Structures are given as C-alpha cells and as structure tokens.
C-alpha cells in the first residue's frame, strides 16, 4: 500500500508539474454518481452540490445517478471498470470509504480512484427522546452503569460502521469497554427515531445535520455533538469536549473521479468546486443542511485521506473493531 | 378544527389547485402503470418539477395527486396483466387478474378504484380526527413486535394452501424467505449467496422477481394456450362493457371496505410496516371471515378478495402520515420521499409544525382528501379505455406484456443483469406452474423476508437471546394470532375430510 501511495504521490506531482502545459478545459456539465439510495447523506451532498453549481451558473447542467450496493463498493467498481467513459462523472463518498476498506467490505480503497476534493464535513451527534431522563452524556454513562442490558445505543450504520464507531468513541472516553455497549443497527432514519421514542434504545448516534432536523420536528433532544466548539445550527447542543469527554469527529464528504481522469480535467473540476464556496447559492444549501465547509482540493485531499486512514484504523484497532 | 378544514377547503378549491390536482392524478396514473415505478419513485420523480411551482400548498396538492394516481396505476397492471409493479399491489393480482381473465377487467378496475378511494378517504378522516391520539400507538412496537407482525403477515400464505397444497405453500414461502437473504443484510455488511456477482450484492430486486414470477409465465401461457387466447381476443371486447357493479356486489364489498379501511389504517400507523403488510393481512383476514362458498372464490376472481387489499393498502398509505405529522417519523418509503419535499419547502413535519403552522397541516390533509376525489372522478371514466388494452389481439398483447416486464426489471436498476434474472425467474415460475406449486406464497415470503430478518436480528441483539418471545406479552399475542391464522385452514380441511368420510 505504502509503495502504491508513493507511486500515486509521484504521479500526482508529475501531473501538477505538467498541468501547465496541458490545455485548460471548462466543465459544462457534471454527472454525479451516488453510491447509496435517494434521501441519504451521499444523495443530499451530491444533489446539494449540483444544485448550487447549476443555480450559480458555474456549470450548465447536473445529472444524478443512484447506484447503491455493496456499501458503496458497487459504484466504486463501476467507476474503475468503466473509467474511460466516465470522465464526466464525479462520485460522492465520505468517511465510510475509509472505514469500509479497512473492514474489507470492498476490495478497493480511495487510492484506486482519482481524488478530486473533499468539500464538506458533518459532525456526529447523540440524540435522546425529549421525555428521557437522560440530559447529558454523563447521564447516559450513569444509566449504562446502572443497567447495561437496558441501555442500548442505536444508529443508522451496521455494527462496526460510522455511527457505531462514534458511540464507541464516546463510551470509551467515559472509561467503558466500547465493545460491551449494546449497539442496535437500523437501516433507515425513520425506524431508528421510532425506536428511540418507543424506548427500545436509550440514545441514538447519528449525523449532526440529521439530528438538527429531528430536533426541529420537536420530539428529540441532542445531548452531545462531536465538534470542538458548539455549532451555530444548534447552539443548545453541548459538545463532548465541554462535557469532559475528549472526543471529536467529523464525517467529511467529497468527490472522486475515474482512475485515468486527465489532469487538465481534474484541475477544472477542482477549480469549479473551489469557486462554488463563494456563491450565495452554496451558502444557502450549506446552511440548510448544517454542513461545515472543509475544502481539501487535490493533493491536500490525498494527505487528508491518508491521515484519516491512519487515525481511524488506529482507533478501530484500539476499540477492538478490527 | 372546523376553521382549519374550511381554510384547507378554501385553498384547495381554486382553479390553479384544481388544475394541478387533476394533472397530478393523470401523470401519477400513467407513470404508475409502468412496473418498477411505484408511488415512491413517481413522487420522487415529480418533486423537482413540483417545487418549481413555488406555492407550498399547490406543490403538496400536485404531489398528493401524483401519489394517489400512482397507487391506482400500480394496481392496474396487477389486474390486467398479472404484473404487480410494487409490493403493495401484489395481493391485488390474486383476485384481480382472475377477474380480468373471466372478462371482468372493467369491473375489477372499477372495484379497485372505489376501494382505493374509500380506503384513502376513510383513512384521511381517521387521520384528521385521531392523528394526535394515535401518536402513542405508533411507537408502541419494538423490533420484537415488528418481527411478530411480519410473522402474522406471512400467515396470509395460508390462503393459498388449498386442499392438499399446505406443504407446497409452506415450501414456496420458505423459498421466498431464502431468496430474501440474498445480498447484504442491512444489519451486517457481509454479502451472502451472491456467488461473487456484484449485481446481486444489493439483493434481488422486487420488481424483477415479481415480473419473472407473474408476468413472464403469463405471456408464455398466453402463447401456448390457443383456447384461452381466442377467448381473450373475441369475447372480451363485448364483456368489457360490463363495468358497473350491481347492488348485490356493492353490499358484499361494503363491509370489507369498512373493516379494511380501519385495519389497514392502523397497520399503516406503525412506522416501517405500511401498505404491503396491510394488503396481505387484509386479504387473509377477509378470507377467514368469508362464508365457505365465498372462500372457495378467493384466488379465482372474488370481488371481496380484490376489494380487501386495495382498500387496505390505500388506508395504510394514509395511516403512514400519522407518525410523520405527529412525531416527525417517516413511516414508509413514500412518506420518507415526501418528507424530502416538505424540507425543500422549508417545512419540517412533526408536532412542532402542527402547533406553529396549523394551516400547513390542514393543507396536507386537504390535499390528500382532494387527491382521492380527483382520482375517482378522473379515472372512473378512463376505466373502459384502459380495460380495452386486453381486447387487443394476442400477437400484440404478448410482446406488450413482455416489454412491460422487461422495462420494469430494467428501469429500477439500469442494469442488464436484471434481464437475465428476469428470464431465469420466469423459467423457474413456468416449471412451478406446471408442477402446480402456488407462486404467491413465494412472493409474500420474499417481500416480508427482509423486514422479518432485520427485526428478528435486532430483537435478538437487544435481548441477548430469544426471551422476548414470551417476555413481551404483545409479541406473544401476535405470534399466537399468526399460529391461529395458519391453523384455521388446516383444521377446516381436516374437518371437511372427516365429515365427507
């Protein structure tokens, strides 16, 4: 892997050097490949980005394709197999691409693709029912100490996935054995929320932007956010850090392209995405979803992902997930 | 409350809103007829278009029209060519298709439209008066109870276990449950029984299986059966005029519609169950309640057997708005998609919305009420034209059915592998039909299989064992009810055998 990374780094460096000599191109339309179903986080990111780009007039049109399967592996395989015909395609992905290649859900990893840019981040949050006696992370830990078998934490990902990882990090920081904490997976946000309200689970580990909209509906309360400071979209939600648990986590989302994408095209995609941040159209989409701008274009994205892989891998080994 | 209703009515009865409601119903009916495009996908397709209108209530009225239109359109293909395009209309084909084979296609479509309308409308009335009271009912169930509810839904297969067929029906159900395990479980990322084929990793697609099991063999039998095909081309055209239902029939289905509206609605209120379970259960319950002579008719073109699932699935679709409006929980796929539309309109359904902006709450309710009425007014006159599809000659009908089946399998996934799977399932189904194995139990097993497995898995994980079966009274009650449902037909057969001896 390391060798491959080095080779990639060299390749990228040479691309950057030669980029000046290649003719500049302009991106007119983008086809977004979404590795999950309609309505999920990936779907929202791709469609939001497409909306901002077209409305701001940066590109003429955006098309979207949902290709779920294999935890995202199907879309990755498709992009690699049909590389030549997919120069107009950007695939959205996020932290799970790192987690799932570590847990061997699919054989590929991010190095098999052309990295375009990491564009946004979404914090994670812990949510409880409004009627729950649990008011803080400390209360949740106390409830767990009192009766571990009745204090299950739910989430939208499979055991070993991102939501489970966040819950485990928080419990580990409270001095508990993360693998002992009961984690119940739900395949859709609606079902997880119903389980929370019915008392089947004591708390729900979910994405921050999802938690914001759940809280807006009026039946649940956020007891912890994984940001380092409170977020404007939910000023009442305390961070884990201020509650004394040294945990931060951000789920980045970004765009990938076919493996043999020409360097001038890659540069053009990066430029278009970079320009997007200054538009009011993007600001509207971003604020609506409670995302954080985290722009990691091109090579910075590679450095960022390599670091993510190391940090998350270490963490998962420490928690006993790997 | 009266104020709210009047406000809602006032909004609905503008020229603009009437126009968009009618347009929505029309588009929904037409697109919804294509298998593979169920209410959920049709609504999803229409959301970006409808958002261009700008006015929130008009947008919602258009979407409600599309929604009800798509439900009606979906049952059309089940009834006419035995091609259920969505899981919720599978049980409509059990009796709807035999009816149209007997030359009663027009009547079947009329019954479907009336049942849909009644189920939807009664559902909306229940929603209007009892939504807040039902909020606590919606979160009564844990995974353990959902598992038991799926078991109860599976008991619907007993309806197909005719004399001497019990074992065959059980085997087909088990096969369906097994097919449902192909691909990744949503609880674990390990691929199962995929034979290393990436396309199978997300499981077998419902539409492909349904088309393969029902539509493909139908085309095959149309082609080899000379007598039947002659009948279909010559006699049908005159019989299609037989659209109206007479008083006796109306009397027979009225209690079915009444019961199934309420039962279907209550099942729909549970998040994560919805129209499919409601229609299977409705079919099973009505079959058990029917008199022995009527029971014989079930599966052979019973009007009760068609009215029951059609009423129940519409009532359940309406019921799934209860958790959305009172708790902010999208209880079904379609409400999840609609939630997206609400959010795009800057509305977050939930208890907060009911308090802060009652006018939006009422415009949602009124739009549903309105969508139902427009659907009936618009589609009843269309029935004879739609039914006439069947009077086209066999040489055109067969390619049409096959095209439908292939388009349905392909549209959902954009993947040519689906066509091979379709063919494989089709051949399998033809063999099963020659061997006289009932196919509906297979599809019921498949449709309920994943929810069955997921909920059982969660319940076991939560209880660290299977104690929940006897420790949770509600689970136990539901499981015992399922056992009764399964045993009744077997005991009845046994008794009949004894008395005839």
Q: What is the pLDDT of residues A241-272, one digit of tens each?
A: 999 999 999 999 999 999 999 999 999 999 99
Question: Which residues of chain B neighbour A159 with C-beta distances below 8 Å?
Answer: 187-188
Which pLDDT score is estimated for A321? 80
Using a CB–CB cutoff of 8 Å, tell me whether B343 touches chain A: yes
Q: How many beta-carbon pairs below 8 A join chains A and B? A: 117
Tell which wins on pLDDT, B87 or A118: A118
- pLDDT tens-digit profile of A127-142? 999 999 999 999 999 9
**Residue A115: which pLDDT band, with cuts at 50, 70 and 90?**
very high
Sequence-ordered alpha helix ranges (H) in B102-155: 105-138, 143-154
- Mean pLDDT of all residues in B267-275: 83
Q: Are strands A153-155 and A183-185 parallel, antiparallel or unpaired?
A: parallel
| Contact yes or no for B260/B311 (Cβ under 8 A) | yes
Which pLDDT score is estimated for B261? 95
- Mean pLDDT of all residues in B382-408: 83
Using a CB–CB cutoff of 8 Å, tell me whether B294 touches chain A: no
Range with the poorest average pLDDT among A18-22, A68-72, A308-312, B210-214: A18-22
What's the pTM?
A: 0.84
Residues 142-161 of chain B with CB under 8 A from chain A are 142-143
CA A190 from chain centre, in angstroms, equals 19
| Contact yes or no for B105/B80 (Cβ under 8 A) | yes
Contact: B350, A38; criterion CB under 8 Å: no
pLDDT for A8 beyond 60? no
Q: Which fold has domain A123-225?
A: D-Maltodextrin-Binding Protein; domain 2 (3.40.190)
SS3 content of chain A, % helix, strand, coil (to 5): 50, 20, 30
SS3 B179: helix
- Mean pLDDT of all residues in B298-327: 90
Name the token pair of A156. Answer: 């939208």
**Residue B236: which pLDDT band, with cuts at 50, 70 and 90?**
very low
DSSP state of B302: -
- Mean pLDDT of all residues in B110-130: 91
Using a CB–CB cutoff of 8 Å, tell me whether B274 touches chain A: no
Task: Find the largest Cα–Cα distance for chain A.
Answer: 67
**Residue A6: which pLDDT band, with cuts at 50, 70 and 90?**
low
Of A74, A161, A216, the CB nearest to B348: A216
DSSP state of A34: E
Using a CB–CB cutoff of 8 Å, tell me whether A194 touches chain B: yes
What is the chain B residue with the closest CA to A214?
Answer: B328
Which pLDDT score is estimated for A63? 87
CA distance A176 to A31: 45
Q: How many C-alpha atoms does A65 have within 13 Å on its Cβ side?
A: 20
Contact: B462, A182; criterion CB under 8 Å: yes
Pick the CATH number of A2-120+252-319 from 3.40.228.10, 2.60.40.1180, 3.40.630.10, 3.40.190.150: 3.40.190.150
Of A38, A71, A190, the CB nearest to B271: A190
The structure tokens 């209360």 sit at: A139
Q: Check if the interface score ipTM surpasses 0.85.
A: no
Of B327, B343, B355, the CB nearest to A197: B327
Contact: A194, B328; criterion CB under 8 Å: no
Which pLDDT score is estimated for A38? 66
Same fold, A2-120+252-319 and A123-225: yes
State in Å, rounded, how far the first CA of chain B is from the last one: 63
CA distance B77 to B86: 10
How close is the nearest chain B Cα to the Cα of A160, in Å? 9
| Contact yes or no for A291/A92 (Cβ under 8 A) | no
Using a CB–CB cutoff of 8 Å, tell me whether B202 touches chain A: yes
**Residue A151: which pLDDT band, with cuts at 50, 70 and 90?**
very high
Buried b (16+ CB within 10 A) or exposed e, A89-103: bbbbbbbbbbbbbbb
Which pLDDT score is estimated for B31? 83
Sign for the CA dihedral angle at B215, B218, B220, B223 comes to negative
Which pLDDT score is estimated for B241? 52
Question: Domain ranges in chain A?
Answer: 2-120+252-319, 123-225
- Mean pLDDT of all residues in B19-30: 86
pLDDT for A2 beyond 60? no
Contact: A71, B414; criterion CB under 8 Å: no
Using a CB–CB cutoff of 8 Å, tell me whether B51 touches chain A: no
How close is the nearest chain A Cα to the Cα of B140, in Å? 6
Question: Which residues of chain A neighbour B44 with C-beta distances below 8 Å?
Answer: 38
Tell which wins on pLDDT, A53 or B188: A53
Which pLDDT score is estimated for A132? 93
Range with the poorest average pLDDT among B109-123, B161-175, B413-427, B471-485: B161-175
Mutate to test the interface with A, among B44, B192, B328 (most CBs of A within 10 A): B328
SS3 A120: strand
pLDDT for B30 beyond 60? yes
Percent share of chain B, pLDDT over 90 = 22
pLDDT for B412 beyond 90? no
Name the token pair of A290. Answer: 């409670």
Question: Which residues of chain B neighbour A185 with C-beta distances below 8 Å?
Answer: 186-187, 458
Which pLDDT score is estimated for B276? 86
Range with the poorest average pLDDT among A231-245, B70-84, B102-116, B422-436: B70-84
| Contact yes or no for B142/B275 (Cβ under 8 A) | no
CA distance A9 to A1: 12
Q: How many CB atoms are located within 10 Å of the residue A146 CB?
A: 9
For chain B, how big is the Rg over CA atoms in Å? 22
**Residue A3: which pLDDT band, with cuts at 50, 70 and 90?**
low
CB-based burial label for B473 (10 Å; 0-12, 13-18, 19+): exposed
Name the token pair of A63. Answer: 């098309």
**Three-state SS across A189-244?**
HHHHHHHHHHCCCCEEEEEHHHHHHHHHHCCEEEEEECCCCCCCCCCCCCECCCCC
Using a CB–CB cutoff of 8 Å, tell me whether B224 touches chain A: no
Alpha-carbon distances, residue B473 vs B145, B453, B468, B469, B483 (angstroms): 9, 21, 9, 8, 15
Question: Which residues of chain B neighbour A187 with C-beta distances below 8 Å?
Answer: 186-187, 454
């Amino acid at each position: 892997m390391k060798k491959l990374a080095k080779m990639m780094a060299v390749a990228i460096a040479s691309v950057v050097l030669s980029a000046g000599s290649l003719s500049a191109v302009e991106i007119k339309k983008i086809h977004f490949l979404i590795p999950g179903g309609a309505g999920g986080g990936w779907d929202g990111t791709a469609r939001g980005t497409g909306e901002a780009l077209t409305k701001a007039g940066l590109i003429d049109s955006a098309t979207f394709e949902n290709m779920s399967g294999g935890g995202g592996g199907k879309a990755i395989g498709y992009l690699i197999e049909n590389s030549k015909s997919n120069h107009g395609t950007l695939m959205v992905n996020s932290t799970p691409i790192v987690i799932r290649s570590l847990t061997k859900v699919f054989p590929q990893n991010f190095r098999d693709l052309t990295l375009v840019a990491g564009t946004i981040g979404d914090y994670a949050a812990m949510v409880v029912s409004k009627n729950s006696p649990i008011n803080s992370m400390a209360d949740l830990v106390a409830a767990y100490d009192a009766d571990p078998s009745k204090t299950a934490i739910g989430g939208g990902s499979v055991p070993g996935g991102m939501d489970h990882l966040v819950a485990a990090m928080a419990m580990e920081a409270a001095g508990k054995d993360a693998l002992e904490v009961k984690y119940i997976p739900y395949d859709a946000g609606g079902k997880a929320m119903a389980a929370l309200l019915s008392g089947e689970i004591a708390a729900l580990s979910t994405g921050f932007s999802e938690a914001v909209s759940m809280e807006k509906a009026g039946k649940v309360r956020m007891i912890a956010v994984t940001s380092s400071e409170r977020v404007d979209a939910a000023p009442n939600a305390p961070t884990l850090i201020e509650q004394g648990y040294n945990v931060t986590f951000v789920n980045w989302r970004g765009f990938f392209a076919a493996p043999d994408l020409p360097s001038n095209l890659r540069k053009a995609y990066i430029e278009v995405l970079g320009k997007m941040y200054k538009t009011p159209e993007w600001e509207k989409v971003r604020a609506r979803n409670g995302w954080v701008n985290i722009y990691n274009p091109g090579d910075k994205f590679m450095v960022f992902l390599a670091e993510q892989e190391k940090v998350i891998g270490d963490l998962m080994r420490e928690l006993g997930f790997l | 409350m009266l104020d709210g209703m009047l406000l809602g009515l006032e909004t609905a009865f503008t020229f603009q809103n009437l126009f968009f409601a009618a347009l929505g119903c029309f588009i929904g009916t037409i697109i919804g007829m294509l298998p593979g495009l169920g209410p959920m996908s049709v609504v999803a397709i229409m959301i970006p278009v409808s958002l261009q209108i700008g006015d929130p209530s008009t947008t919602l009225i258009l979407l409600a029209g599309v929604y009800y239109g798509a439900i009606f359109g979906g049952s059309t293909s089940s009834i006419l060519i035995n091609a259920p395009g969505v899981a919720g209309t599978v049980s409509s084909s059990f009796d709807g298709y035999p009816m149209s084979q007997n030359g009663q296609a027009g009547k079947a479509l009329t019954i479907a439209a009336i049942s849909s309308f009644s189920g939807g409308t009664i559902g909306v009335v229940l929603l209007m008066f009892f939504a807040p009271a039902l909020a606590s009912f919606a979160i009564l169930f844990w995974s353990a109870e959902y598992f038991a509810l799926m078991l109860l839904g599976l008991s619907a297969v007993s309806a197909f276990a005719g004399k001497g067929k019990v074992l065959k029906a059980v085997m087909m159900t088990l096969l369906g449950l097994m097919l449902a395990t192909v691909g990744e479980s949503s609880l674990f990322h390990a691929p199962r029984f995929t034979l290393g084929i990436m396309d199978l990793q997300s499981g077998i697609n419902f539409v492909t299986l349904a088309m393969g099991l029902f539509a493909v063999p139908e085309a095959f039998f149309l082609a080899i059966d000379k007598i039947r095909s002659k009948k279909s081309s010559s006699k049908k055209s005159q019989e299609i005029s037989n659209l109206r239902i007479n008083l006796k029939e109306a009397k027979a289905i009225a209690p079915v519609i009444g019961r199934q509206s309420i039962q279907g609605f209550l099942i729909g209120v549970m998040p994560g169950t919805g129209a499919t379970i409601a229609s299977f259960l409705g079919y099973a319950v009505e079959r058990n309640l029917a008199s022995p002579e009527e029971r014989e008719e079930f599966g052979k073109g019973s009007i009760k057997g068609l009215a029951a699932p059609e009423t129940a699935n519409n009532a359940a679709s309406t019921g799934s708005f209860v958790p959305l409006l009172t708790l902010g929980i999208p209880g079904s796929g379609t409400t999840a998609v609609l939630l997206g539309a609400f959010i795009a309109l800057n509305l977050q359904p939930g208890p907060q919305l009911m308090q802060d902006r009652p006018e939006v709450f009422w415009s949602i309710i009124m739009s549903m009420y309105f969508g139902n009425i427009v659907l009936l007014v618009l589609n009843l006159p269309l029935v004879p034209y739609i039914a006439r599809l069947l009077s086209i000659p066999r040489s055109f009908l067969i390619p049409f059915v096959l095209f439908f089946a292939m388009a349905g399998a392909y549209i959902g996934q954009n993947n040519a592998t689906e066509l091979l799977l379709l063919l494989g399932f089709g051949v399998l189904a033809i063999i099963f039909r020659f061997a006289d194995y009932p196919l509906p139990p297979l599809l019921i097993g498949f449709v309920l299989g994943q929810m069955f497995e997921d909920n059982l898995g969660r319940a076991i994980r939560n209880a660290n064992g299977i104690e929940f079966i006897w420790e949770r009274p509600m689970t136990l009650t539901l499981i015992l009810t399922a056992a009764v449902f399964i045993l009744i037909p077997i005991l009845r057969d046994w008794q009949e055998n004894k008395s005839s001896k």
